[in-house]
A = this chain, B = another copy of it.
Amino acid sequence: MNKLNIGLVGYGFMARAHSNAYLSVNQFFDLKYRPVLKGVAARDAAKVEKFAHKWGYESHYTDWRHLIADPEIDIIDIASPNDTHSEIAVTAAQAGKTILCEKPLARNLKEAQAMVDAVKKAGVRTMVWYNYRRIPAVTLAKKMIESGKLGRIYHYRAKFLQDWTISPDVPQGGTGWRLDVNAAGSGVTGDLLAHCIDTAIWLNGGIDSVSAMTETFVKERKHNLTGKMEKVGIDDASAFLARFHNGSLATFEATRYARGHKALYTLEINGEHGSIAWDLHDLHRLQWFDHKDEGTLRGWRSIHVTDGDHPYMANWWVPGLAIGYEHSFIHAIADFLNSIDGKEPAQPTFEEAMKTEHVVDAVLRSAAAGRWERVG
C-alpha cells in the first residue's frame, strides 16, 4: 500500500477528528493509500508535543512552515483557526503539496480567492472538510435527489442551532477564537451556516440571491488574549431568505442562542413527489415522505440508515448499529484517497467550496446593508 505522509496544522477539535480518520480509515475501507501521521505543527510547544504523542505523530513543531518545508510531507492538512488558513494554503500550494483544509475556506472572500488562485496555479489536489456530505443519511438524500425521487424542488429549509454562548461569561479569543472576529472572520454565518450552505448547494444547486439579518446579542465579552472586555465583532445569530437557481425558495438560520439545541443542524427539502428531512442530533436517520405511496398509507418514513446497502455502511457493523459523528471524516478521507487515481476529485475542492464563500459573503453584505443581495 502506498503511504501518504500527513503534515497536520492544529491540535484542536478538528485536528483530533482528522487524526482519528487517518488512523481508522484503512481498517474499514480497502484503499490503495495509507495516511501516515508524519508531523504536526501548532503554536503551543507543550500542547503540540502532547498531541503528537497521543496520536502518534512522528514529529512536532511550533511553526507550520517546517511541515511545508519537509519534502517527505505529501499532504498539508489545515485544522487551525480560520485566520491561518489562507497563508498556510497559499504557501503549501507554492510548495506543491496536496492540501486538505477545514471549513470555512477562510475568513472572507478575498482570502479564499487567494487560496483558490494559488492551488489552481500550482495544480495541486485539494479538499475542504465539509464533513456532513459524508454522513450516510445525507449521502443517501443526495442519491435520492439525483435519481429523481423528489421531482421538482419547491422548498429548502436549513437551520443550525446551538446554545453554548448564551452566557455573557463565555470569553472570546485564544481557545475561544470562534467568538473573535479577527480569528474567525464571522460568527455563526461562517461557522455554522457555511455547513448548511455547502450541503444545500450540493443537494439543490446554486443560490441566486439572499436577504439576511444578523444579530449580536452579547455586545462585549472578555478577550482571552488581552484579558479585557472587548467589543464582540461576530454575529451570534444569522438568518436569511434565499432563491435557488432552480426556482425553489429557502430559509436558512443559525444561532448560538437556541436553548436546548447543542448542534442541531436540520435540513428539509420539499419536492413535487416527496420530501426528505434530516438532523444532526439523530444523524443516523433520514426522514422520507413518498407521495407515490398508496394513498391511505402515506406517511413520513424514518429510515435507519445502517444497512449494508446504505452509503458507506457496508464498511461498518451490521444493520441497526449506528455510527457517529467522526465517521463522516473517515468517509471523507476514504473518498479522498480513492479519488487520487480517479478522474473525479473528492468534493468539495477549494474551487467548489468557493461557492459557499460567495453565499456567505452575500449573506454578510445583505445583513449589513439591509437589502437583498445577489450571490457573486
CB pair B307–A262 under 8 Å, yes or no, is yes
Closest-CB distance, A260 to chain B (whole angstroms): 3
Quick one: closest B residue to A212, CB to CB? B241
Contacts of A285 in B (CB 8 A): 299
- Copies of this protein, total: 4
Contacts A260-B291, A297-B303: A318 and B13 contacting too (C-beta < 8 A)? yes
CB pair A321–B263 under 8 Å, yes or no, is yes
Contacts of A75 in B (CB 8 A): none
Contact of A323 among B26, B140, B324 (CB under 8 A): B324
Closest-CB distance, A330 to chain B (whole angstroms): 11
CB pair A303–B307 under 8 Å, yes or no, is no
CB pair B319–A325 under 8 Å, yes or no, is no
Residue A327 is within 8 A (CB to CB) of chain B in the complex: yes
Contacts A157-B253, A259-B271, A307-B262: A239 and B237 contacting too (C-beta < 8 A)? no
Quick one: closest B residue to A327, CB to CB? B324
Contacts A241-B240, A263-B319, A322-B325: A303 and B299 contacting too (C-beta < 8 A)? yes
Residue A5 is within 8 A (CB to CB) of chain B in the complex: no
Contacts of A319 in B (CB 8 A): 164, 262-263
- Complex Cα gap A141–B94 (Å): 54
- Complex Cα gap A327–B249 (Å): 34
- Complex Cα gap A201–B5 (Å): 49
With most chain B CB atoms within 10 A of its CB, the pick from A262, A273, A327 is: A262
Closest-CB distance, A303 to chain B (whole angstroms): 4
CB pair B274–A249 under 8 Å, yes or no, is no
- Complex Cα gap A169–B26 (Å): 33
A-B contact pairs, 29 of them (CB 8 A): A16-B317, A19-B27, A27-B54, A27-B55, A154-B166, A157-B253, A163-B270, A213-B249, A251-B253, A255-B270, A259-B271, A259-B274, A260-B300, A280-B320, A281-B320, A281-B322, A285-B299, A290-B297, A293-B301, A295-B307, A295-B309, A296-B307, A296-B310, A299-B303, A316-B326, A317-B326, A322-B322, A323-B324, A324-B327
Chain A interface residues (CB < 8 Å from chain B): 13, 16-17, 19-20, 23-24, 26-27, 54-55, 140, 144, 154-155, 157, 161-164, 166, 211-213, 215, 217, 237, 239-241, 243, 249, 251, 253, 255, 257-264, 270-275, 280-286, 288-291, 293, 295-304, 306-307, 309-310, 316-327, 370-372
- Beyond the given A255-B270, A259-B270, please list 11 additional residue pairs across the A-B interface where CB-CB is below 8 A: A154-B258, A211-B372, A213-B241, A260-B289, A261-B270, A288-B297, A288-B299, A297-B303, A317-B325, A321-B324, A322-B322
